[in-house]
Amino acid sequence: MKIIIAGAGDVGFHLAKLLSYESQDTYIIDFDGEKLEYLNSHLDIITKKGDATSIKLLKEIGVDSADLLIAVTDSQNTNFTISVIGKSLGAKKTIARIDNSEFLNECEVDFKKFGLDFMISPQELAANEIKMLLDQSSFNDTVAFESGVFNVMGTLLTHNSPIIDLTVKEASHSFPSIDFTTIAIKRQGVSQTIIPRGDTRYELEDQVYFCVPNYSMKDLYPILGKKQFNIKNVMILGGSSIGQKTARNLCKNNFKVKLIEINREKAGLLAEELSDTLVISGDGRDLELLEEENIRETDAFIAVTGNSETNIMSCLVAKSKGVKKTIALVENMDYIDISQTIGIESLINKKLIAASNIFRHIRKGEILALANLHNIDAEVFEFEVKQGAKVTEHPIKDLRFPREAVFGGVIRDKKAMMATGDMQIQTGDKVIVFCLPEAIHTVERLFN
| CATH number of residue 279's parent domain | 3.40.50.720
Q: Quick one: pLDDT at residue 326?
A: 92
Q: Which spans in 228-369 are helix H? A: 241-252, 264-273, 287-292, 308-320, 350-359
Q: Quick one: pLDDT at residue 228?
A: 76
Q: Quick one: pLDDT at residue 367?
A: 66
Pair 14, 59 in one domain: yes
For residue 82, tell me if it sits in a domain: yes
For residue 125, tell me if it sits in a domain: no
Kindly calculate the radius of gyration of the chain based on its CA atoms and give it in whole angstroms. 23
Pair 92, 202 in one domain: no
Distance separating alpha carbons of residues 265 and 431, to the nearest angstrom: 51
Domain boundary among 354, 377, 392: 354
Q: Quick one: pLDDT at residue 441?
A: 83
Q: Of 151, 156, 282, which Cα lies nearest the Cα of 224?
A: 156
Pair 12, 110 in one domain: yes
Q: What is the mean pLDDT of each run of 10 residues along the chain (448 residues)?
A: 92 83 83 92 92 96 95 94 96 92 75 90 88 80 85 90 95 94 89 90 93 92 85 95 94 94 95 95 91 94 93 92 92 66 77 78 64 73 91 94 94 94 94 89 88
Pairing of β 405-412 and β 430-435 = antiparallel
Pair 114, 219 in one domain: no
Domain boundary among 209, 224, 239: 224
Q: Encode pLDDT of 216-267 as tens digits.
A: 988 998 899 888 788 999 999 999 999 999 999 999 989 999 999 999 999 9
Domain count, the chain: 4
Domain boundary among 120, 153, 186: 120
Q: Quick one: pLDDT at residue 218?
A: 87
Q: Of 419, 433, 356, 424, which Cα lies nearest the Cα of 152?
A: 433
Pair 242, 339 in one domain: yes
| CATH number of residue 145's parent domain | 3.30.70.1450
Q: Quick one: pLDDT at residue 375?
A: 65
Pair 194, 171 in one domain: yes
- CA-to-CA separations, 126 to 11, 108, 274, in angstroms, rounded: 13, 24, 18
For residue 395, tell me if it sits in a domain: yes
Pair 66, 181 in one domain: no
Pair 162, 144 in one domain: yes
Pair 180, 244 in one domain: no
For residue 126, tell me if it sits in a domain: no
Pair 326, 347 in one domain: yes
Distance separating alpha carbons of residues 300 and 137, to the nearest angstrom: 9
Beta strand residue intervals within 83-230, DSSP E: 94-97, 118-120, 141-145, 150-156, 181-186, 207-213
Q: Of 140, 144, 211, which Cα lies nearest the Cα of 405?
A: 211
Q: Encode pLDDT of 86-142 as tens digits.
A: 999 999 999 999 988 778 766 778 888 889 999 998 888 889 889 888 887 778 788
For residue 392, tell me if it sits in a domain: yes
Q: Quick one: pLDDT at residue 347?
A: 84
For residue 53, tell me if it sits in a domain: yes
Pair 6, 42 in one domain: yes
Pair 236, 218 in one domain: no
Q: Quick one: pLDDT at residue 374?
A: 65
| pTM of the full structure | 0.77
Could you list the residue range(s) of the whole structural domain that residue 265 is in? 231-354
- CA-to-CA separations, 387 to 46, 364, 365, 447, in angstroms, rounded: 38, 17, 13, 10
For residue 108, tell me if it sits in a domain: yes
Query: Would you call 75 helix, strand, or coil by DSSP?
Result: coil
Q: Encode pLDDT of 155-164 as tens digits.
A: 889 899 999 9
For residue 57, tell me if it sits in a domain: yes
